[in-house]
Amino acid sequence: MTARITLAPSSLHTLIVAALAEDAIRRDVTTRRLFPRPVKARGVIIAKQPAIIAGLPAARAVFQAVDPSLRFRASARDGARIEAGAIVATLAGDGRSILAGERVALNFLQHLSGVATLTRRFVDAVEGTRAVILDTRKTIPGLRLLEKYAVRKGGGRNHRMDLSDGVLIKDNHLALADDLHSAVQAARRRAGRTRRQPIEVEVATLEEVREALTAGADIILLDNMPVVQIKEAVRLIGGRAKTEVSGGVHLHNVRDIAATGVDAISIGALTHSAPAADLSLEIKAGRRGRSV
């Protein structure tokens, strides 16, 4: 599992610049034609549904990149549970700048709040068991840092950040290796400075569970196993390795999976299939034609 993730402005800069360029904010023909001069305005970002909010630092950074004079004040903290109708943040300044950043800021905020909200549903579903909810590398390219941050804010934990962040021998690795045992031994023998790094092995059958144990795997990933088989695998492992489940995990069965005694449940849907949270930005104009 990776270290704690924070959304520092420096880590967001490149992504936000690219997102604003994609939206051609300096060539907004509608706003330019309607408002050739600055127009005082204030805006409020409102939740249209209950959600776990996430991504406020990204939204702030978007508006600051558009216009450093805009004033952005968050009314909630990332990770907070909000109700429909709650004001999430307020903005004040040139209405043209608010309009320029609106869509990009909301895209980040809606997606990340959706990830956090779905994660919280899974976390709540396994409450009282030993299982922790993990994300995966099944993220939208370029958004991994943000999505894994949102998982944290939803109460989940992070699995590998990238391919350098831990040894995980999967089925396609084994397809190229001689056998499971030799693959584990090779990974351990060539560890070098990362010798203490745990070695995780993906298995799909109880026979492979036995092989992984014999090979000395530190973590055994039970892939796409039915609950009854997961329960038997946990019994076979008997605490000799950490256990993780992945594949075929849904809200309707995650509690049953957690009840088998597994240590972790990794869920790609947290990031690749989370519905966007319903948030909107409403703008109210002040007196037009004055500098702001």
What's the mean pLDDT when you consider all of the chain?
93
Strand, helix or coil for residue 60 = helix
**Per the structure block, which two tokens stand in for 218?**
């530190």
> CATH number of the domain that 14 lies in?
3.90.1170.20
* Gap between the Cα atoms of 181 and 263, Å rounded: 23
Supply φ then ψ for residue 143, to 5 degrees. Answer: -110, 10
Confidence of residue 197 (pLDDT cuts 50, 70, 90): confident
Q: Which domain holds residue 197?
A: 128-272
Q: Are residues 256 and 236 in the same domain?
A: yes
Q: What is the 3 state secondary structure string of 134-183?
A: ECCCCCCCCCHHHHHHHHHHCCCECCCCCCCCCEEECHHHHHHCCCHHHH
284 is known as an active-site residue: no
User: Which secondary-structure segment (H or E) carries 200?
Assistant: strand 199-203
- With 0-12 / 13-18 / 19 or more C-beta atoms within 10 angstroms meaning exposed / middle / buried, residue 141 is exposed
Q: Are residues 161 and 262 in the same domain?
A: yes
153 is known as an active-site residue: no
CB 169 within 8 A of CB 183: yes
Strand, helix or coil for residue 291 = coil
231 is known as an active-site residue: no
* Range 229-252 average pLDDT: 97
> CATH number of the domain that 233 lies in?
3.20.20.70
103 is known as an active-site residue: yes
223 is known as an active-site residue: yes
Res 178: pLDDT: 84
Q: How many domains does the chain have?
A: 2
User: Which secondary-structure segment (H or E) carries 100?
Assistant: helix 95-125
* Gap between the Cα atoms of 5 and 89, Å rounded: 22
| Straight-line distance from the first to the last Cα atom of the chain, in angstroms, rounded to the nearest whole number | 46
Q: Are residues 280 and 177 in the same domain?
A: no
Q: Are residues 102 and 160 in the same domain?
A: no
3 lies in a domain?
Answer: no
Q: Are residues 106 and 75 in the same domain?
A: yes
- Which position has the higher pLDDT, 129 or 13? 129
Res 107: pLDDT: 97
Q: Are residues 145 and 238 in the same domain?
A: yes
Q: Are residues 61 and 21 in the same domain?
A: yes
Confidence of residue 216 (pLDDT cuts 50, 70, 90): very high
**pLDDT tens for residues 150-189?**
999 999 999 999 998 889 999 999 999 889 999 999 998 8
**pLDDT tens for residues 40-57?**
999 999 999 999 999 999
Please tell me which residue in 42, 121, 137, 138 is annotated as part of the active site: 138
pLDDT over threshold 60, residue 234: yes
User: Which secondary-structure segment (H or E) carries 82?
Assistant: strand 81-82
Supply φ then ψ for residue 93, to 5 degrees. Answer: 145, -155
Please tell me which residue in 40, 42, 103, 121 is annotated as part of the active site: 103
Please tell me which residue in 32, 37, 81, 170 is annotated as part of the active site: 170
**Per the structure block, which two tokens stand in for 123?**
């976390």
Please tell me which residue in 200, 202, 208, 211 is annotated as part of the active site: 202
**Per the structure block, which two tokens stand in for 116?**
């956090």
